[in-house]
Amino acid sequence: MEIAVYRRGAVNHHLSREANKWASMSLTQNALAAYGDAIAGRELAVPRETYIARPGPQLMARLRSLHAAACHLAKTDPDVLACRTTARSLEEDLVHTMVACLTAGLPAASGSRRVQRARLMSRFEDYLANRPCEPLYLSEICGAIGVSERTLRDCCHDHLGMGPHRYLLIRRMHLARRALRAADPARTSVTEVATAHGFWELGRFSVEYRGLFDESPSTTLRRSAA
């Protein structure tokens, strides 16, 4: 399985000796450059000449699966794609995987880039350390340490193995757990603790909490009395 990356305005002819399937995707020049920088640490330029990319089987399988899912939704349930959030989520996955395919095998980011990202993570961690008991949110952190959300997201994936949204959610979960364990169940409710730590979807809070700590928030609160 291969990916043909066409130059602008290309006209090409292909010969196959057996049955085959084609699928297509397109990116604007700006999107290609931006996603390349976010994923591979360098801008990707529109090629001067058409070339063939051969990423690994896992990446190709992921790309084919996402593309098939998008086509299936468009044919069977287009109303789902009419939802802006759903369409954006699927588009992000498709583009991210495509750019990963195109950059597979390229050398890692330069040493200077790694140093810059390490310094950024130090500022991020210092900001959190100076506010150990506060629920924090991405927009305020980015404004405080002077970095874009995209850059911070890339750094967190490199250094933490997850994005900053997920990292901050887990941090708030731990703060909520600490508060539940210190609370008096006769005077404090789970709802009060959850909302105080920025969780307004109480059902989701309970599910996430149980997934992290293997018990419900109400169980934690009851155990605090003991």
Among 5-19, 89-103, 117-131, 206-220, which is the least confidently predicted range? Answer: 5-19
How far apart, in whole angstroms, are the C-alpha atoms of residue 218 and residue 5?
55
pLDDT at residue 218 above 90?
yes
Label residue 123 exposed, middle or buried (CB < 10 Å: 0-12, 13-18, 19+).
Answer: middle
pLDDT at residue 202 above 50?
yes
Q: Model-level pTM?
A: 0.49
Q: How far is CA 95 from the centre of its chain?
A: 12
- pLDDT at residue 221, as a whole number: 93
Please report which residue ranges of 104-163 form alpha helices under DSSP H. 111-129, 138-145, 149-160
Residue carrying structure tokens 């395919």: 101
8 A C-beta contact, residue 207 and residue 214: no
CATH code at 167-225: 1.10.10.60
Query: pLDDT per residue over 147-200, tens digit each?
Result: 888 888 888 887 788 888 889 889 999 999 999 999 999 899 999 998 888 887
pLDDT at residue 113 above 70?
no
> CA-based Rg of the chain, rounded to a whole angstrom?
23
pLDDT at residue 118 above 80?
no
Residue 209, C-beta contacts closer than 8 angstroms, at least 6 positions apart: 173, 176, 177, 216, 217
pLDDT at residue 209 above 90?
yes
- pLDDT at residue 108, as a whole number: 47
How far apart, in whole angstroms, are the C-alpha atoms of residue 56 and residue 65?
14
8 A C-beta contact, residue 124 and residue 152: yes
- pLDDT at residue 50, as a whole number: 75
8 A C-beta contact, residue 7 and residue 49: yes
Residue type, 24: S
Across the chain, mean pLDDT equals 82
- pLDDT at residue 215, as a whole number: 94
Query: pLDDT per residue over 46-65, tens digit each?
Result: 777 777 778 888 888 888 88
Output the CA angle 73-76-82, nearest 5 degrees: 55
pLDDT at residue 224 above 80?
no
Residue type, 158: D
Return the higher-pLDDT residue of 219 and 116: 219
CA distances from 47 to 26, 110, 221 (A): 13, 22, 59
